[in-house]
Amino acid sequence: MVTLGEDLGRGGIFGQYRGLREEFGAERVIDTPISEATIVGAAVGMALTGLKPVSEMRVMDFALCAMDEIVNQAAKNRFMFGGQGRVPAVIRMPIGIWSASAAQHSQSLESWFTHIPGLVVVTPATAQDNYSLLRAALDCGDPVVYLEHKELWGLEGEVDELRLATLGLAQVVRPGKDLTIVTWSKAVHWSLAAAELLAARGIDAEVIDLRTLWPWDREAVFESAAKTGRVLVVHEAVQVAGFGAEIVATLAEGSGARLARLGDRWMPPERKVMLADARSF
């Protein structure tokens, strides 16, 4: 196993690699040039030759410079060559709003990657899950897009190193009978807080942390929807074409529950500008 990315030698942008260079050496904890395409491209080559690379993108926003390597190389290799090659790489892309860090450091683009066949998409929300799901991602034989929230790096909690996780299994983090809230990443914490406010009004909300977006745990969500009859999908990403739409569409096709989504606003240009553009056609 090797790690590669910018500034790993000094611990990484959030300190997640602190001490690893001293313990394992520069040949396994590799500082790279400022080139995300190089980082992921090298990782794909490493994976195809038998290594298990972990590529560090610093933040998800920078991974856009490596989309060809992620989408056309890592995700498709097994299919294009009849299973002769596998890319067991973990690509870490911290997601979400990062306070005071502006638009190019605060995006949640997880729906982009769930759309790509061949990629596994993981979204931990707790210290325990970040440990257990990372272990599962490292053991996965396919490329994993691993999405830690930028503002959860300071979160602390008890971690049982013997507790394992299975990719594709959700977790009911708060049981309830009146409403199902389906969510992931930092929105799990917001949803739990909202559930407590609802409880004070006599509404018993069940909160499901998907933990992985692809594959996502349809069985757990459908089971809860059948119990409560109401489902609200909550995510930090822009609501338009967010992954919540996939969940709601799947439930609409196979359940009788009342459905709704809650996501960030899609910020359009000024309405006057949009109307002016429309008249020009």
Nearest to 75 by CA among 108, 115, 31: 115
Supply the DSSP string of 18-55, one letter for each residue.
TTHHHHH-TTTEEE--S-HHHHHHHHHHHHHTT--EEE
- Residue carrying the six token digits 């929300």: 125
Residues with catalytic function:
105
Phi, psi angle pair for 126, to nearest 5°: -130, 165
- Residue carrying the six token digits 């860090």: 101
Contact 127, 159 (CB under 8 A): yes
Give the separation between CA 280 and CA 275, rounded to whole angstroms: 9
Relative orientation angle of helices 243-254 and 218-228, to the nearest 10 degrees: 60
Supply the DSSP string of 65-83, one letter for each residue.
GGHIIIIIIITTHHHHTTT
Phi, psi angle pair for 256, to nearest 5°: -105, 15
